[in-house]
Amino acid sequence: MSAPDLSAPHFIAIGGVGMSGIAKILARRGSTVSGSDAKASSTLDALRQLGVQVSVGHAAGNLPAGASCVVVSSAIREDNPELVTARERGLPVLHRADALAALMQGYRALAVAGTHGKTTTTGMLAVSLTTLGLDPSFAVGGDVDEPGSNAHHGSSEIFVAEADESDRSFQKYSPEVAIILNVELDHHANYASIEEIYESFQAFVDRIVPGGTLVVSADHPGARELTARVADRAGLTVVTVGESAEATVRILRITPRGLTSAVTVLVDGAELDFTVAVPGRHYAGNAVAALAAGIALGVPAAELAEALGSYRGVRRRLQLQGEAQGVQVVDSYAHHPTEISADLDAIRGAAGEGRVLVVFQPHLFSRTQQLGAEMGAALAPADAVVVLDVYPAREDPVPGVTSDLVIDAARAHGADVIAAHGLAEVPDLIAGMAKPGDLVLTMGAGDVTTLGPEILTRLG
């Protein structure tokens, strides 16, 4: 297959975190980039500063006459007017992953995959390698610092990318080093069973270049099963990481320190200590996977361990929004039961004697239909929970599938739950509940993230 013509790409929904990152790199490489998005955002502002032509709203006229191709994500529907016009013109239509795969050609690629933790781990690698002066290119599924910091066109031969399994698009990449953090059933609109998930991850492993390295969790059951399935692949080095005694890179200690953790690992018989700027065992595990992957690229272990301490988090991954009247507000992207449990456990340790109040927004009707009961059970350890309506994202409603599936399950497990049917209700609800010393956690993959500043204003 010939390389796509990315000299003048047009991105539909360019404001998305994955799409905007690719657009940014292409603009840095000298392409004439254009795109559209449904609404204005700081991400669009950042793209305009790079010379990208951005339109707000979707219309056929947004597609430039000189466009070389159109780039879409799996969320773009066939009736989108710009996509319809592109097909009428006979323009090539590329999936976002095809564009990213083309960008990685000729680089030493490091791809980060897994059901949970991809964005954090990719961000850790991007920041630590940059701190060491290696200037990698990277594409992260979240802003590492300010809007638009989700991607960078670097000067070195290293390219770090988040690899999305949700639509099988990660099977398009050919990394030298791949990380698989965990393997669980999710994305029910695209996978009918856990066996399909394993087959998809196995296909991703098959794409690792000969002589390459797979870094995989030694602790997660799904990752261990995957390791057993691929262990005999010729030309593949498998490095396991985790707290298990059999791990190649072993975590010896994780010591919570408020909203950070001190981590000690054993690498090639030597102990290394470093700090992770987000709390929780799962984030410590992400950092150790990043360490092992960097070592596989040839980065000295001690230098990389120290550089990992410069990582200060990715937006929405247990990100502190602020404090008012003695109440801290933290934002979390967690939307799968495993993520909810892990982040709640981490925050419970950071909250000390204070209560943990959660505002949760279920994400996708398909996920809520399959995992709503597990979501409710995962939320139960919180001292109080406000549950919003399901955030539909790209999906149409499913009859009978509402946030009541989560609420009923949480109550069945003893949780104190309040139902809220609009974002506007929440700040006053929380302001009436919170006391000095409490911690408020906004949680979900939808627009629940916008509530943090409003809650802080009400509290203040």
Residue 39: CB atoms within 10 A of its CB come to 8
Indicate if 425 belongs to the active site.
no
Given the residues 43, 85, 115, 119, the one annotated as active site: 119
Phi, psi for 154 (deg, rounded to 5)? -95, 175
| Burial zone of 202 (CB within 10 Å; 0-12 exposed, 13-18 middle, 19+ buried) | middle
| CA dist., res. 304 & res. 132, Å (int) | 8
Given the residues 82, 162, 165, 243, the one annotated as active site: 162
| CA dist., res. 122 & res. 111, Å (int) | 8
| CA dist., res. 307 & res. 181, Å (int) | 21
Indicate if 162 belongs to the active site.
yes
Nearest to 52 by CA among 79, 22, 82: 22
Question: Which tokens hold the place of 104?
Answer: 């990685």
Residue 268: CB atoms within 10 A of its CB come to 9
Residues 6 or more apart from 69 whose CB is under 8 A from it? Answer: 4, 5, 6, 8, 9, 10, 91, 92, 93, 94
Indicate if 118 belongs to the active site.
yes
Phi, psi for 86 (deg, rounded to 5)? -60, -45
Given the residues 118, 213, 227, 275, the one annotated as active site: 118
Nearest to 279 by CA among 217, 385, 352: 352
Catalytic residues: 118-119, 162
